Structure 1
Amino acid sequence: MRTVKWNGVYPAVTTKFKENGDLDIPAFLKNIEHQIDAGVNGIIIGGSLGESSTLTHDDRLALLEATVAAFGDQTDVLLNVAEGATTAAIELVQRAEKAGAHGFMLLPPMMYKPTDQEVADYFKTVARSTKLPILLYNNPVDYKIEITLPIFEQLASEANIQAVKESTRDISNVTRMKNKFGDRFKILCGVDTLAMEELLMGADGWVAGLVCAFPKETVAIYELVKAGKIDEALEIYRWFLPILELDINPQLVQNIKLAEVMTGIGTEPVRAPRHILVGDERKRVIKILEDGIASRPILPDYKNL
C-alpha cells in the first residue's frame, strides 16, 4: 500500500472546464505540472476549490485517472470524498481505489447536521471500506460540523485515518490536537491566511488554495519555516497575505481561477451555477493580483535549504 507522508504542501487544485462545462483535462494537468515543478508533496482532487458540488463520480474518476497516469509516480494523488450517504461515499472510495488513488480527503456527511456519534460512525465505516490512508477535513465554519476531540478519540483506533485538514480558524486547535494525541494525527493547515502561524505551532503541512496560482511562493514559505528561516518566510508571507485573503471568500473558486489566468497557469471557466467574476468585484480582485504580481518577491533556493 502507498504510504502518504502528510507533510509539505498539498494543493487543493481547481477543476478546469471548457466553456461548455465539460472537463478540460489538458488544462487541468498543465496546472498540476507547475505544482509538481514547484515541489509540492501531493495533489487533492475535487475539493471545495475543485467545485466538488458540481462533479459527478465519473468526473472525479476521470480527473483522478488522468493525474495518476501523468504524475502518480512523482507525488501523492488524493481524491476528495464529500457525500450525503455512507453508501455513496463507500462506492466512490472503492471505485477510486481501483482507479489508482493513493488516499482520500474525507468530509463529514453532507446536507445533514449529524450528531457527533453519527459523524464518528460515518468516518469509521468509510475508513473500513478501504486500505488507503485518509485525511479528514475539519471545517465547521463552512460545513457546520466540527470534528471534536472526543470524535478523534473514537477514530484513533482506525489506522488508516491518519491526518486532519485543520480549518477551524482556531490556531490553538493545533496545540490541542498535539497535546491530546501527540503525533497520532498529522495536522495540515487548511486556511491560507493562517498557514504560517499554524506551521509555527507545529502543523505538519499545508492544504493550500492560492498555491494553484503561486506554487513556488507557497512551497518556499513552507520550506523556509521548516528550515527555521522564519524571517525569510515572513517576508514572503507578508507579501502574499493580501492575495491569500482571496481564499477566505464565498467566491474563492472564481478568485483563484482568475489568479491562475493572470499567472499563466490556468483557465477561468467555472461550472454552473457559478459565474466568473464581473463588474466592480472583478476589478477589485484584479487590482490585488496586479499589485502582488508587480512586487513578486525573488525567492531563495528553497528546494536546497
Structure 2
Amino acid sequence: MNWQGVFPALTTKFTADEELDLVAFSANLAAQLDAGVDGIILGGSLGEASTLSNDEKDTLVKTAVDYVDGQVPVVLNIAEGATREAVRIAERAAGMGVSGLMLLPPMRYKADERETCTYFKAIAAATDLPIMIYNNPVDYKIEVTLDMFEELVELPTIQAVKESTRDISNVTRLRNRFGDRIKILCGVDTLAMEELVMGADGWVAGLVCAFPRETVAIYRLVKAGRYDEARAIYRWFLPLLELDIHPKLVQYIKLAETAAGLGTEYVRAPRLPLVGSERERILNVINTGLANRPKLPALEELVHVD
C-alpha cells in the first residue's frame, strides 16, 4: 500500500428515491481515475456512511473494486460505535478486495486515550490490511496524540494518518517524532497545499469529487517543486475548498459535482437538498469557480514521482 498522492473521499450517489445510484457513482469514479488520482476512499463522512446499511456499503465496495480493477487502491472507512462491529468489518474487508482501511475513533462515545488505542489495536489485530488513522479532534472530539501514535506504531499495519487537526505544524511534529514511519495525508482541503509544502505525503480530498484534475495538478506541481504554478491554482480553488469545512459539506460538494457534470444533488435524510438563498449563495461560489477555471499543465508532464 502506497499512502501517497490524492485520495478522493467519494460521495455516495443516490436517486431521487434515496436508492443507490451506481451509474452516477461509476461515472464520477471514472472521472477520478481519468484525472490520475492515487486511491479512493469509501464510506467516509462525505460518503454519508452513517445513513448506509451494511449491505449498501458492501455494494459500493464491490462496485468500486470491480470498476477500479486494481488501477488504484480502494480504502474502506470504518466508523463504528462498537468495537466488535468495527472488528467484524475489518475481518471481511480483505475478502471484498479492499486494499486498506481508514479508522475513526469510536463513534458516539468520547473514549479516553487508553480506550481509543485499545479500539484501534483490536481492529488492527483482526486484519493484515494496512491502516490509516483518521485524526480529527475538531469534528470527532477525540485527538490521537503523538504519545498515542508512539503506542500505535508498534503495530506494523498502522502506517498512515489522515491529519485533520487543523494545525499545520502537526505535520512537522509527526515527522520529527516518527520520521517516515507514518505517512501523512492532509484531510482538510483548505490546508492541503500548506501541509504538502511542509512534507505531507498526500491529500485525502473532498472537492476533488467535483474538480479532480485541479486537485491532482496542485498535488503534482507541489511535489515537482513548481510552487508558483501550484499556488496560482490553489488561490483560484480556495473559495471552493472552503465548502469542505462546513457541516453541510455533503450538500455543498454534491451541488458542486452537479454543476461540474459529475454527480447529482440527491442526499439521504436527515440531510436535505439545499434550497432558497443558501443554495443560490453556494451555487454562486461554484459557478464563479467554474467560469474562471485555470489552465492546467498537461498531467502527463506531472507524473507522480517521489
Find the partner of 2:248 among 235, 248, 251.
Answer: 251
Structure 2 unpaired stretches of 5+: none
Task: Report runs of 4+ in structure 1 exceeding 4 Å deviation.
Answer: none
Larger deviation, residues 4-13 vs 92-101: 92-101
Deviation at 1:165, TM superposition (A): 0.3
Query: Which amino acid in the other structure matches residue 162 of structure 1?
Result: Q
Aligned to 1:269: 266
How do 1:213-292 residues align onto structure 2 when only pairs under 5 Å count? 213-292=210-289
Are 2:160 and 1:160 equivalent residues in the alignment? no
Aligned to 1:187: 184
Report the number of matched residues.
302
SS at match of 1:273: coil
Aligned to 1:211: 208
How do 1:83-122 residues align onto structure 2 when only pairs under 5 Å count? 83-122=80-119
Deviation at 1:194, TM superposition (A): 0.2
C-alpha distance in 2, partners of 1:301/1:277?
35
Query: Which amino acid in the other structure matches residue 177 of structure 1?
Result: L
Query: Which amino acid in the other structure matches residue 302 of structure 1?
Result: L
C-alpha distance in 2, partners of 1:214/1:263?
8
Find the partner of 1:178 among 175, 179, 200.
Answer: 175
C-alpha distance in 2, partners of 1:72/1:84?
31
C-alpha distance in 2, partners of 1:13/1:267?
13
TM-score, with normalisation over the residues of structure 2? 0.98
Are 2:67 and 1:67 equivalent residues in the alignment? no
Are 2:166 and 1:169 equivalent residues in the alignment? yes
Aligned to 1:9: 6
Query: Which amino acid in the other structure matches residue 39 of structure 1?
Result: G
Deviation at 1:303, TM superposition (A): 2.9
1:12·1:209 contact (CA, 8 Å) conserved in 2? yes
Query: Which amino acid in the other structure matches residue 104 of structure 1?
Result: L
SS at match of 2:147: helix
How do 1:14-93 residues align onto structure 2 when only pairs under 5 Å count? 14-93=11-90
Q: CA RMSD in A?
A: 0.7
TM-score, with normalisation over the residues of structure 1? 0.98
C-alpha distance in 2, partners of 1:186/1:231?
25
Deviation at 1:304, TM superposition (A): 1.8
Query: Which amino acid in the other structure matches residue 180 of structure 1?
Result: R
CA deviation digits over 1:280-303, x for unaligned, max 9?
110100100111100000100133
C-alpha distance in 1, partners of 2:54/2:172?
36
1:61·1:96 contact (CA, 8 Å) conserved in 2? no
C-alpha distance in 2, partners of 1:99/1:76?
12
Deviation at 1:96, TM superposition (A): 2.0
CA deviation digits over 1:98-121, x for unaligned, max 9?
111111111000000111010111
Are 2:128 and 1:131 equivalent residues in the alignment? yes
Query: Which amino acid in the other structure matches residue 172 of structure 1?
Result: S
Give identity over the alignment, percent: 62
1:60·1:79 contact (CA, 8 Å) conserved in 2? no
1:39·1:303 contact (CA, 8 Å) conserved in 2? no
